[in-house]
């Protein structure tokens, strides 16, 4: 922000330094337009505030800027009254030290107001950062809680998966045993069938043997008769 005085006024040198100091805080282009008022150049009007890249700062119309503009106008009016009083005083001439003291006091009050505004803005920014930090901590705690719940759920799912796997293994083992028993049963059934076939053959052989015995006995008897 800047305050300009008429180049021919005695205050212009001091305020030129003050103007440069304020511009170092935040680069504002053409924030105030100077209009001459009773040859003092103290009438101030507000215009757009831009940064060093000529981008309009939209936040320049907030409450702090309005308050700052009001204070600038009050300061300008006060300095104008002081200059008028010094010119219209016919009883005596105000000393330069008194005028310098008055201006210094005015500048000091302005500096204090600027410092107060800056401190208020800093406190507000600090509160905003603190709130953001607290919100981040809260969100972090929520994420930690969700992560813990996810870990517990994962452990539960793994336990269920292990039980299902064990059950499948037991079923697979039972299936293997069943297949083995089935093959053994088939082998036994085949053996029984083979033994039955062997028994049939043995029965036939026994019958043939008995028949041969009978025939042999008959032949023996015939031979005996012939021998006699």
| 28 located within any domain | yes
Complete DSSP assignment for 35-53: E-STTS--EEEE---B-TT
Question: Which pTM was predicted?
Answer: 0.30
**Distance of alpha carbon 195 from alpha carbon 173, whole angstroms:** 33
**Does some domain include residue 38?**
yes
pLDDT above 60 (res 214): yes
Q: For residue 22, what are the domain limits?
A: 12-94
Asked, for residue 142, whether it belongs to a domain, the answer is no
Within-domain flag for 62: yes
Which residue did the predictor score with more confidence, 206 or 69? 206
- Residue whose pair of structure tokens reads 């088939």 in the numeric block: 186
As a whole number of angstroms, the distance between CA 1 and CA 15 comes to 12
pLDDT tens-digit series, residues 55-67:
444 444 444 545 5
Angle 96-227/63-88 helices, nearest 10 degrees? 170
Total of domains in the chain: 1
Q: Would residue 193 count as lying in a domain?
A: no
Query: What tens digit of pLDDT does each residue of 111-164 get?
Result: 777 777 776 666 666 677 778 888 888 888 889 889 999 999 999 999 999 988
Instruction: Give domain status of residue 202, yes or no.
Output: no
Structure tokens at 8: 């021919």
Helix and strand counts by DSSP (H, E) for the chain: 3, 2
């Amino acid at each position: 922000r800047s305050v300009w005085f008429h180049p021919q006024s005695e205050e212009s040198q001091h305020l030129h330094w003050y103007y440069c100091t304020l511009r170092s805080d935040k680069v504002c282009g053409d924030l105030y337009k100077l209009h001459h008022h009773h040859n003092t150049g103290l009438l101030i009007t507000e215009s757009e505030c831009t940064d060093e890249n000529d981008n309009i700062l939209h936040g320049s119309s907030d409450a702090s800027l309005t308050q700052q503009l009001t204070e600038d106008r009050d300061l300008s009016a006060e300095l104008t009254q002081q200059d008028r009083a010094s010119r219209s005083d016919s009883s005596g001439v105000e000393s330069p030290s008194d005028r310098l003291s008055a201006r210094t006091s005015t500048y000091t009050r302005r500096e204090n107001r600027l410092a107060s505004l800056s401190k208020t803005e800093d406190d507000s920014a600090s509160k905003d950062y603190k709130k953001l930090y607290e919100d981040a901590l809260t969100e972090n705690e929520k994420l930690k809680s969700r992560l813990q719940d996810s870990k517990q759920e994962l452990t539960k799912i793994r336990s269920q998966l292990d039980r299902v796997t064990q059950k499948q293994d037991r079923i697979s083992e039972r299936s293997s045993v069943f297949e083995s028993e089935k093959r053994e049963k088939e082998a036994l059934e085949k053996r029984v069938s083979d033994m039955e076939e062997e028994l049939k053959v043995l029965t036939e052989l026994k019958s043939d043997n008995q028949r041969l015995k009978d025939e042999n006995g008959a032949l023996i008897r015939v031979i005996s008769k012939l021998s006699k």
